[in-house]
Structure 1
Amino acid sequence: MKLSRPVTKQPPETIVALIDVVFFLLVFFMLIGRMDATAPFDVSPPTAATGADMPSGGITVSVSAEGDLAVDGIAVDDIALDSRVEERLAGTSETLVRINAHRDTELRHVLPLVTRLEALGARDVVLVVTPESAPPVR
């Protein structure tokens, strides 16, 4: 009499373990990788000097929330700004210009102003800021 062994089925290969490994690798590389673009050189952002006294002398250019300009409290248009600043800078050895912009002023009004002032001879441009702890003025 010949006895035969029952045929045993091979258990199917599970890929659950492989999926776990892939997820662990994915999480690992997400944690160690940097998602932001880095500069090819060292960049140290400037530090605000809040609480320090404003430098004296120089010119104050004010910018409203709509982009209107004033030089030392006198409203000027975009064309008169250059002549007024040149006139003030020519009469003194001061090259300091303070930009006092309204907090709602868009950056597109302020950045070109800095470039214009530097082209007119301003060597020190100071942006006037309000410390975070001060109550908002409406």
Structure 2
Amino acid sequence: MRKLILLLIALLTLTISCSNNDDNNNDNSTLVKLDNTAWSGVFSSTEIKIMTNNTINWDNEKVQVQFKENNSFKLYGYGKNSQNQWIINSGPYNGTYTYSSTGTIKLNYESGATFNPLNSGTISGSVMTLKVGDNQFKFNQE
């Protein structure tokens, strides 16, 4: 009985947390915080949200990628910067994306850079384009 009560409280807390986050889905620049984790960041996009771990870790730095579906964002995968690629492991954009731009993309903790806000993101066929400030980065799906 006690486990059931704890489960109900946990589900209620999760529901309230999700409801609070949903209020910001229509905002073009939203503070994103994944509950009970260190993943957060401010990103602006109509199709893509990216959440980054706000600690520097050489070996397993990850970027979470969400795509918009039915007016809400769903998590489809993650990227690992040290491999210079993003892995979307489920959903309609399933695949491995590699950087096709030259130079250092702003998603680069290894050099000590911080993550910049994502100004816009679009997907056309097998190409994902992210715009950060004046810089535009294209990703080709392998």
Range of TM-score over shorter length: under 0.3
- Which structure has the larger Rg over C-alpha atoms? 1
Q: Which has the higher strand share?
A: 2
Q: 1 or 2 for the larger relative contact order (CA 8 Å, sep ≥6)?
A: 1
Query: TM-score scaled by structure 1?
Result: 0.23
